[in-house]
Amino acid sequence: MQALFQFDMRGSDYVAELGGSFEDICRTELFAGEEFNADGLANTADRPLNAAEREVVDFSVRMVEGTLQHRDDIDEKLQGVTRNWDLRRMAIVDRNVLRMAVYELLFCADVPPKVAINEAIEIGKKFSTANSGGFVNGILDRIRIELEQSRAAKKAAAGNHGPADSDKEQAEGDAAAADSAQG
């Protein structure tokens, strides 16, 4: 979340400013304020990550890169359901919590929608305003309902062939649903 916040504030050159990569940024955020990891090893830039840290960094990179890669589509989707709200006027944390959760809803078949929504609500409550939880929940629930309706319509139109055969097909279906919902 902190990385998306920084990209929103500083622009797309944030990685170049730091002279690193998305992984470097996510690793820095993972270790922020912590001198040592759970194993008692110093949190230095050159220390190999343990399995748990590698999993967190890999997931974080996936979320940051994916959200930024699809940001225009995500923003269009958000603008479509945020009646009378200009995205630029939203609290920066709320805007980026919503972007990341919409990325998960649209493109991460391995993340259940309720998990993505609940995580976004909790992040909003913790790092934004007292009203963020309800605000985030309302917007994401509208998007979830639209996606479910779009998927159901596609399934019915396809002759009810059953669930997607792979995560890739599911993600492609989600992307198509996002495109059709925007149009």
- 173 and 99 assigned to the same domain: yes
Tokens at 132, concatenated: 């963020």
Residue 23 CB contacts under 8 Å (≥ 6 apart), including other chains? 57, 61
- Write down which residue in 41, 64, 87 finishes a domain: 64
- 59 and 76 assigned to the same domain: no
Q: How far apart are CA 111 and CA 39, in angstroms?
A: 29
- 50 and 103 assigned to the same domain: no
- 52 and 1 assigned to the same domain: yes
- Write down which residue in 64, 86, 105 finishes a domain: 64
88 is in which domain, residue-wise?
70-183
Tokens at 181, concatenated: 């919902």
- 95 and 145 assigned to the same domain: yes
- Determine the number of helices (DSSP H) and then strands (DSSP E) in the chain: 9, 0
Instruction: Note the pLDDT tens digit of each residue in 113-166.
Output: 999 999 999 999 999 988 899 999 999 999 999 999 998 998 899 876 555 544
Q: What is the pLDDT along the chain (183 residues), one digit of tens a residue?
A: 777 877 777 777 777 777 677 888 888 888 888 888 888 888 887 888 889 989 999 999 999 999 999 999 999 999 999 877 788 888 889 999 999 999 999 999 999 999 999 999 999 999 998 889 999 999 999 999 999 999 899 889 987 655 554 444 555 555 554 444 444
According to the model, what pLDDT value does residue 177 have? 47
